[in-house]
Chains A and B, each alone.
Chain A
Amino acid sequence: MAEITLQDIIKPENLVYQKTKLMTDKTLSYCPGCGHGTAHRLIMEVIEELGKENDTIGVAPVGCSVLAYEFMNVDMQEAAHGRAPAVATAIKRLWPGKVVFSYQGDGDLAAIGTAETIHACNRGERIVMVFINNGIYGMTGGQMAPTTLPNMKTATSPYGRDIDMMGNPLKMTELVSYLPGTYFVTRQAVHTPAAVRKAKRALRMAFQNQIDGKPGVSFVEIVSNCNSGWKMEPVQANTWMEENMFPFYQLGDIKVDGKLIDR
């Protein structure tokens, strides 16, 4: 029997997975183990599969994903810190036939940009808002975020988040789900193959809602790890996330087709 070479395997009919052409070849700036890269890829795969690569405008935030536009191979705008929902609002209002999404972290969306987030959601802008929640400010070196869990240690809560002194973590996704302007609100994760598949389904539904002209924001939170900020190894960070983040930030759909899910 002849030896099987690599050339025998690399054939179109054997192809089971391919990197989406909507991800550039640039090396991701994220730490090894971080969920951002997976989240980027899923969004781009969904846009490619929906055939919208020439009709999409993305808005990048300030934070770890400030350079998202380097990796996402569609027309992109880089917004000021927290302002992506306002930027996306105007793009969609002026180009209602295009697909518009914003991509923000928790510092961007849930702290400095709280007003823009709440009001874009409340106005019912027909955009997709992707929210990456890792409970910490990654880019600036691991400071406390509005989403930091009680007693969680960060650079600005070195003895743990003291609720009396530093306030409570903010469940932004639940909050926006109560606004009449949100159409689809869900919380997902990308740390296991099963979670990735679910997250992709959620993202596809979010973008499909927009394409179908459904009234309101489709809001997708992705609870992600920050192994560097949490000062853990990637696998350890994922376990910690499952044990600590998920009980507080419960995964699953919160609002579908404009109706709150009984959870």
Chain B
Amino acid sequence: MGELRLMKGNEALAEAAIRAGVDGYFGYPITPQSEVIEYLMSEKPHERTGMVVLQAESEVASINMLYGGGGTGKKVMTSSSSPGISLMQEGLSYLAGAEIPCVVANVVRGGPGLGDIQPAQSDYFQSVKGGGHGDYRLFVIAPASVQEMSDFVPLAFDVAFKYRIPSLIVSDGLIGQMMEKVELFDPIPRLTDEEVIARYPWATNGKPKGKERRILTSLDLDPHKMERHNWALQEKYKLIEENETRFELIGCDDADYIIVAYGSSSRIAQKSIQLAREKGIKVGLLRLITLWPFPKKPIEEFVNKGIKGFLTVEMSAGQMIEDVKLVVESRAKVEHFGRYGGVIHSPEEVLEALEQKLIGG
């Protein structure tokens, strides 16, 4: 059993970064995730593992530091909250285009604009539909506990390096700020420079003797070459959809209705399905772990089994519901419920919405 600690989600993310063998963290403070860089600075990771931690002048600089650092084959990471993540969209597009692995964490807060500093899930579209320009995807994973704020860091890096894709960890102010017990994984040593050079021949860390130099770019002025590059990206994304989709089913075996939720909303919905069963309503929970790739298969199976309806529960005006509807294709009822702008729904509100929109309606 690993070391047990009571930690904030943001602190767990930061500790996990050190333990995951991250070489560089580049960040800029923003509520509600400033604890990440505060924790890192106070832990002196340069002494613990040799990890570099740098407070950049902006989120724009942070994400471009990931481009530079990730482009040399090093494990690099940043974190921010919604307005800061918006500033990173240009960089994410370039990272995806140049196929540079890195991990970005978004501790989502209410929007649009400056919004507020309370939890929200209204960055779903931005996360999974490509917040920047061009045809690209990120590997998007949504922790629902402080434990997963820790566990998903090494996982996000594994996928990022396996496929040369930026990974995005999407939590929210609730998970970032709340304290829970967390079992920390054993530290993974940082790779040595020699190991990085040997493992990632694409990385630009000095032209190897007697070999061709490397170029990392997202540019090709020849449209046919650019189309071929895009085809290769799409092939890769298909592979990720096949291999890296993750979800969890809770109480779905005998369910008449399915709640689809992720992150904080999935925690709240767990209580809602319990309350529903106390009233004799058979409700199950499909908890999305990856937001992209989107777990289409379980939804397809529910439809084939003749489920009576889906309720998507998100702290947004209804974003993830669009992906559920794309799978359901009008073969079953799909409704949305959620409080947003920084307001968190209660389990009772969710149950009430389910009764009104799916059963009563």
Listed in ascending order, the chain A residues whose CB lies under 8 Å from chain B are 53-57, 59-60, 66-67, 69, 73-80, 83, 86-91, 93-95, 98, 115-116, 118-119
- Does the CB pair B23–A94 fall under 8 Å? yes
From 51 to 67 in chain B, residues with beta carbon under 8 angstroms from any chain A beta carbon are 52, 54, 56-58, 60-62, 64-67
CB pair B24–A66 under 8 Å, yes or no, is no
Verify A76–B68 contact, CB threshold 8 A: no
Q: Using Cβ atoms and an 8 Å threshold, which residues of chain A touch B164? A: none
Q: Please tell me if B30 contacts chain A, counting CB pairs below 8 Å.
A: no
Question: Is B129 in contact with chain A by the CB < 8 A criterion?
Answer: no
* Residues of A contacting B205 in the complex (Cβ-Cβ under 8 angstroms): 57, 75, 95, 98
Is A75 in contact with B206, judged by CB distance below 8 angstroms?
yes
User: Which residue, of A74, A77, A79, has the highest number of chain B Cβ atoms within 10 A?
Assistant: A77
Contact B68 A77 (CB under 8 A): yes
Task: Give which listed residue, A55, A88, A90, contacts B24 with CB less than 8 A.
Answer: A90
Contact partner, A57, options B60, B62, B98, B204, Cβ 8 Å: B204
Judge if B48 is at the interface, Cβ distance under 8 Å: no
Q: Given A94-B24, A119-B61, does the pair A75, B207 have CB atoms closer than 8 Å? A: yes
**A94 in contact with B215 given A57-B205, A80-B64, A115-B61 (CB within 8 Å):** no
Contact between chains at B72 and A57 (CB < 8 Å): yes
- Contacts A90-B69, A94-B23 known; A75 to B213 CB distance under 8 Å? yes
Sampled A-B contacts (15; CB under 8 Å)? A54-B208, A55-B206, A57-B205, A57-B206, A75-B207, A77-B98, A77-B204, A78-B215, A78-B217, A80-B67, A80-B91, A86-B65, A89-B68, A115-B61, A119-B61
Check if B57 sits within 8 Å of A115, measured CB to CB: yes
- Pick the residue among A77, A80, A87 that contacts B90 (CB under 8 A): A80
Contact between chains at A87 and B204 (CB < 8 Å): no
Question: With A and B bound together, what is the CA distance between A249 and B83 in angstroms?
Answer: 39
Quick check: B206 and A94 within 8 Å, CB to CB? no
Residue of B at shortest CB range from A52?
B206
Q: Closest Cβ of chain A: how far from B269's Cβ, in Å?
A: 39
Is B193's CB under 8 angstroms from A95's CB? yes
CA distance A93 to B54 in the complex (A): 9
Q: How far is the CB of A88 from chain B (nearest CB, A)?
A: 6
Write the nearest CB–CB distance from B150 to chain A, whole angstroms.
Answer: 24
